[in-house]
A and B are shown apart, each in its own frame.
Chain A
Amino acid sequence: MKHNDILTEIQSLGGQLSRRGFLKLSGAAGGGLLLAASFPSFGEESPTLVGSAELNAYVQVRGDGKIIIYSGSPEMGQGIKTSLPMIVAEEMGANWDDVEVVQAPEVNTELYGRQSTGGSYTLYLNWNLMREMGATARDMFIAAAAVALEVPRSELKAEGSQVTHVPTGQVRSFGELAALAHRQPVPKKETLVFKDREDYKILGQSISQVDSLEIVTGVGDFGIDTKVPNMLYGCYVKCPAVGGELISANIDDIKRAPGIVDAWSIKGNGNVRELMDGVGIVGTDTWSVFKAREILDVKWDETKASKDSWQAFVAFAEAQDQTGEKVVVDEGDVDAAFADPGHKVLSQLYEYPYVSHLCLEPMNCTADFRKDENGRDHLELWIPTQSGPRVQEMAKSRYGLDQDQVSIHMKRMGGSFGRRTSQEYVIEAVELSQRAGRPVKLTWNREDSVRYDFLREGGFTRLKGAIDDDGSVVAIEEHVIGVAPGGKPSRFTGPWASAFPFSTMKNIRASLTTRQMDTPVGPWRAPYSNTHAFASQSFFDELATLAGRDPIELMLELMGERRWITPDDVRALNTGRAIDVINTVAKKAQWGRPMPKGQGLGFAFYFCHAAHVAEIAEVSVDQNDRVTLHKVTAAVDVGPIINMSGAMSQVQGAIIDGYSTMAGQKITMENGRVQQTNLDQYPVLRIGQAPEIDVHFIQSDFDPTGLGEPALPPLAPAVANAIFAATGRRVRKMPISDVGFSV
């Protein structure tokens, strides 16, 4: 049975999948069982969602016993293409070795759900759907076996890709039963029974990701590896200061360069998320195009271009008061707590830089804008993207193309971390293909990929706290000094009213002041949380020192009674889960043990993306201020672990990413120009600097939630607090190389 035939069948269902339910698909299953699940769009949006994801699912069991599960969700290294099918296989009673996962071949939200990923919510949003899908299939196999063996259903169990008659030991494999199963009625959702956790055979195990073989043999099909017939290679050169307009360029010289097929001056619409002015060059190979750029001579009009200056932003921030222009949270009486002469009060300014996503796969897109056999426009795209549907929307709004005029291949991403959510690199490829009349693969070089990144914004947080006679934290005020590209405050600057630790404080005020900074910014792994955790949890450690208290003891006091701040809201802090991860990490890292001179332990807790994470860093600092991060201990509660290997990877990766970022990464702008564009100016952590990482999962009974982001935010404050413990010097500025430390 060819996948294409099944997909044609799925496609023919079209709008039938508009309400939640399961459908058997006829015919195309080739005598096997083919189930489709559909689920209405998840309506809620919260600011923590980069673009929540949802997958519709298709499962096929063939007569030869092969189980094919279709995955619609984009894969960028977070492991979703492996973990979601594991849930289906578990509930079905399948052997994992019988499962083949196939990436959905197109973008079609009617069929595959939202086909976007972000916010670490993909798993949470799909947990029940995946279980229902598996349990439905299992129920139908059991019904089929009851018919085949003429025994009661209650005497049958499905396990190991077969149904066993428990009293007699007779078995029928899923493959043998597939055709008969397909003729059984689809059970009602309400009648489905999920397996107990203690009976799990697949979930919680370590499963190598489904694309491992392709990756290690070099045939993994990333976006940048796309090659289609008659394809040209292209680049698009923009003004080094974002927003500059093109006056003139030596296009004729470029056209004469070796390997160049054509070149154009292209007028944009001034929207950095769509198309800026630039020079498009297409040629016979990437190198020819990159070489031609070197002789490009463009005159830019920078009247409307960014004038951003990091230095000016620093001066602006340092001049700010304790309370900002816009108050976002104001509970209790902060002013009275600060004015009380019996209270100790501390105020400090924290600073964090712009940083790049630095996806190792540079930004790229392959576009083929052509006429179909009826003379209608048709756009075919090969894109590494976190959101296929957004590309469809763009094709409609910008080019007037209906869904049937657009074919989108969502390619594996060589990292994303929030980066591949924008459209400008797609549009640039479309523009080149439209002009060339041929498919064009646009490749940004590394320098483009950093210079025109939608950076994690830099900013500042002025924190103030009060400690009472008992040494308790009685008030906190946070003032974020953030950015407003084009005058509009970035939503990832914060502060977010729902953020930890605001909900735990009686007297709390959080406010915002922004400065216009036109350098584009966007979501970057655990947006807002990654800077807020650094500032707030480093400052919390300062307050503990001021109070003469142990920071963990003080944090546990802040948590108070075990309670869910907003019951049943997965995005709300659960202090019981927080207490458990904090106690676990303290015990595992042997918190409180005496440390030799020049060494220290640092603790931080943070809650975001529905995850409770506590980390303890162990560092030493030598007389030259060289920091060694020996070990990070992490305790994490994201509910039951789906894929232990994938979960460990995400925590290890987030910790190393957090450390790499805080060690030396900083993007600055002067005169609107990004000043660091490649690895020689932007240091990255190497293997020898990676710490030992000891991860402890508390597999609570709450529904599982995602792990792509939430282990990152506590890392920076944990390390900063450890450096303080080792040296007595506070780190209030990132990266630590800016305050004299090296790694």
Chain B
Amino acid sequence: MTDFVMILTIFVLAIFVGFEVITKVPPILHTPLMSGSNAISGITIIGAILSAGTQHTALTTVLGLLAVIFATINVVGGFMVTHRMLEMFKRKE
């Protein structure tokens, strides 16, 4: 199996997992679902870290730094605001 087919397999299976898991999220939690999944899409941060840290060229370093900033906003802000919202749902047990 080539690398591409293997990686495509992972992609397709992950989409199926996503559909299964996310259809079970009730409408009352749709806003936290969006902000939380958004934080997860900040996973690009690991690509950004490598670009900013390996410093191949000046340009890629700058691009990497900018990407680290963008992705960190996404990750930190996303998880924090989701937590803030979910606490509001939790407090009325």
Our verdict on whether A and B bind, yes or no, reads: no
